[in-house]
């Protein structure tokens, strides 16, 4: 493990480490200036040309941040933790798609399957028969 740490502390990775430290400090400053209700729901992304880019986890949080952006700019600029003054806050919305669980396919016993086929054969045209037809579509 030590050789990996030495490699990461080397000159080739110093730029990445500096960027990571900058990102971590931006995140800490953002969380210090925000309410506790936003913790875990916002991420400080970057600082470009006096524009602080924040990512919100949902639209409700994004709209609350947008309303409080003027006071947030003032708090961050007054804290003097960042060398450059923030002129604007840009809020991006991060859309997280929940994992779509696959439906468990249950095997129907052969006797129940045959009973449903027999019932379908005896029925007149009805919505239930069309549903049963959908169950027993032939595979092509």
Let me know if residue 99 belongs to a domain: no
Residue 107 has pLDDT above 70, yes or no: yes
Under the banding of pLDDT at 50, 70 and 90, the label for residue 90 is very high
Cβ–Cβ under 8 Å, residues 120 and 133: yes
Q: Of 103 and 134, which is predicted with more confidence?
A: 134
Let me know if residue 61 belongs to a domain: yes
Let me know if residue 34 belongs to a domain: yes
DSSP 96: -
Distance CA 128, CA 51 (A): 60
Under the banding of pLDDT at 50, 70 and 90, the label for residue 105 is low
Regarding whether 115 and 63 lie in a shared domain, the answer is no
- What average pLDDT does the structure give for the chain? 80
Q: What b/e readout covers 33-53, taking b as 16+ CB neighbours within 10 angstroms?
A: bbeeebeebbbbbebeeeebb
40: domain CATH number is: 3.30.300.180
Q: Return the residue matching tokens 């579509």.
A: 137
Number of domain units in the chain: 2
**Sign (positive/negative) of CA torsion 116, 122, 123, 125?**
positive
Cβ–Cβ under 8 Å, residues 60 and 41: no
pLDDT (tens digit per residue) in 29-78 = 888 888 888 888 888 888 888 888 999 988 888 998 898 888 888 888 88
Regarding whether 110 and 89 lie in a shared domain, the answer is no
Regarding whether 40 and 18 lie in a shared domain, the answer is yes
pTM for the model stands at: 0.57
Regarding whether 80 and 110 lie in a shared domain, the answer is no
Residue 121 has pLDDT above 60, yes or no: yes
Quote the pLDDT of residue 101: 65
Let me know if residue 38 belongs to a domain: yes
Quote the pLDDT of residue 113: 81
Distance CA 54, CA 51 (A): 10
- In this prediction, residues 118-124 reach a mean pLDDT of 85
Regarding whether 6 and 58 lie in a shared domain, the answer is yes
Regarding whether 113 and 44 lie in a shared domain, the answer is no
What is the domain range of residue 46? 2-93
What's the half-sphere exposure (Cβ side, CA atoms, 13 Å) at 89? 25
């Amino acid at each position: 493990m030590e050789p990996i740490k030495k490699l990461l502390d080397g000159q080739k990775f110093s730029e990445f480490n500096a960027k990571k430290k900058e990102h971590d400090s931006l995140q800490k400053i953002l969380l210090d200036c925000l309410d506790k209700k936003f913790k875990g729901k916002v991420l400080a992304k970057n600082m470009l040309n006096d524009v602080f880019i924040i990512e919100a986890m949902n639209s409700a949080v994004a709209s609350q941040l947008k309303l409080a952006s003027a006071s947030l700019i003032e708090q961050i600029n007054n804290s003097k933790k960042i060398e450059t003054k923030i002129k604007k806050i840009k809020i991006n919305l991060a859309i997280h798609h929940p994992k779509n669980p696959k439906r468990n396919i249950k095997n129907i016993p052969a006797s129940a399957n045959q009973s449903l086929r027999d019932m379908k054969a005896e029925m007149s045209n009805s919505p239930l028969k069309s549903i049963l037809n959908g169950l027993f579509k032939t595979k092509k």
